[in-house]
Amino acid sequence: MIDPVITITAACLVGLAVVSYALLKAWQGWLELKHDELDRTGQQIVSSSAPEIEGGAGVGAARIEMADLKERIKKLEAIASGVEL
């Protein structure tokens, strides 16, 4: 006759294997989802336009850079016209 302890141990091992397999499949699915999100984000950046500034930064950084350059130009124009800021 089979000892009840062996039966319980075998059932626990089978249950542990099933749970481990399910978690592994969930982890692989999550990784695939994140990989797809990264691919979509990369395609949107590339398809929308090339990097706008020399450093290769995206659209948001380019807008900040442009605002900074416009402010510098205003200051230089003010200096050239003799106006104190």
Say which residue, 84 or 79, is predicted with more confidence.
Answer: 79
Q: Supply 35's token pair.
A: 């990989």
Residues 43 and 62 in one domain: no
Residues 16 and 55 in one domain: no
Residues 4 and 38 in one domain: yes
SS3 9: helix
- In this prediction, residues 7-14 reach a mean pLDDT of 96
Residues 27 and 57 in one domain: no
Q: Supply 6's token pair.
A: 């062996």
Alpha helices in the chain (DSSP H): 4-48, 59-81
Residues 1 and 16 in one domain: yes
- Range(s) of the domain holding residue 69: 51-85
Q: Dump pLDDT digits (tens) for 20-79.
A: 999 999 999 999 999 998 888 766 655 555 554 555 556 677 778 888 899 999 989 888
Dist CA 27 CA 22 (whole Å): 9
Residues 58 and 74 in one domain: yes
- The pLDDT assigned to 72 comes to 92
- The pLDDT assigned to 62 comes to 73
Residues 85 and 56 in one domain: yes
Residues 3 and 43 in one domain: yes
Predicted TM-score (pTM) of the model is 0.46
The DSSP letter of residue 52 is S
